[in-house]
Amino acid sequence: MNGFDFSLSGAALTALPTGALWWAEAGLLAVSDLHLGKSERLARRGGTMLPPYEVQETLSRLEADIAATTPDTVLCLGDSFDDLDAVAGLNAVAAQWLTRLMAGRKWIWVTGNHDPGPTQFDGTHLAELRRAPLVFRHIAEPCAQGEVSGHYHPKARLGRISRPAFLIDADRVILPAYGTYTGGLRCRDRTLQGLMGERALAVLTGATATPIPFPRN
């Protein structure tokens, strides 16, 4: 899978090149910040008109990751939809596609800041998930240990190439945004600098998950 293997609080994890996190022992595939329906939300609010293909591209990657890992559980770590109205804005094909991906496995929606509350889709809705030795939540908390989160859409640069990236240290991993139209926050942002400890890594997504030292100011 061309992923990057690492350990967090004793759990053996793999950062996949797509931006998904695979915990093989638990049969759990985690993704964060799909932001499904972003192009529809922008159009609805009179913003930038973007080609409405991000849902198809995001679900295609998710389907491929599910096929490659065959997880028992898929965990969406918040901001799965760009807002609550974007859920209703999904066309029938996309809604049926997502329903098909959910079939036959446990599906957990963690609440994000863009998509609070329940959606029309089944699954389990949680503020956070604790599965020892890890805790999964949308936004990282200071001083947490064994924490997996998303929210910040981190990006890192290798040469002239900037890509979404996992941020990993001894206490936490912050997942990149999985959605196609999500943008990103540079590693040198003060918030990310404050969260990541010594000897942290940034693992760039792409054809291969590529680790580099976490960029410091």
Q: Which domains does the chain have, with CATH numbers?
A: 4-213 (3.60.21)
pLDDT of residue 121: 84
pLDDT of residue 62: 97
SS3 81: strand
pLDDT tier, 38 (very low <50, low <70, confident <90, very high otherwise): low
Lowest mean pLDDT among 80-89, 162-171, 196-205: 80-89
Q: Which residue has the higher pLDDT, 37 or 124?
A: 124
pTM of the model: 0.91
pLDDT of residue 180: 75
Which residue type is seen at 105? R
pLDDT(114) > 60: yes
pLDDT in tens, 144-172: 999 999 999 999 999 888 999 999 999 99
Rounded to whole angstroms, what are the CA distances from 44 to 40, 49, 54, 89, 121? 6, 10, 16, 10, 22
Task: Kindly report each contact of residues 185-192 with a partner whose C-beta sits within 8 Å and lies 24 or more positions away, as own/partner.
Answer: 185/152, 185/153, 185/154, 185/155, 186/154, 186/155, 186/156, 186/157, 186/162, 187/154, 187/155, 187/156, 187/214, 187/215, 188/215, 188/216, 188/217, 189/152, 191/152, 192/152, 192/154, 192/167
pLDDT of residue 42: 45
SS3 165: strand
pLDDT of residue 37: 66
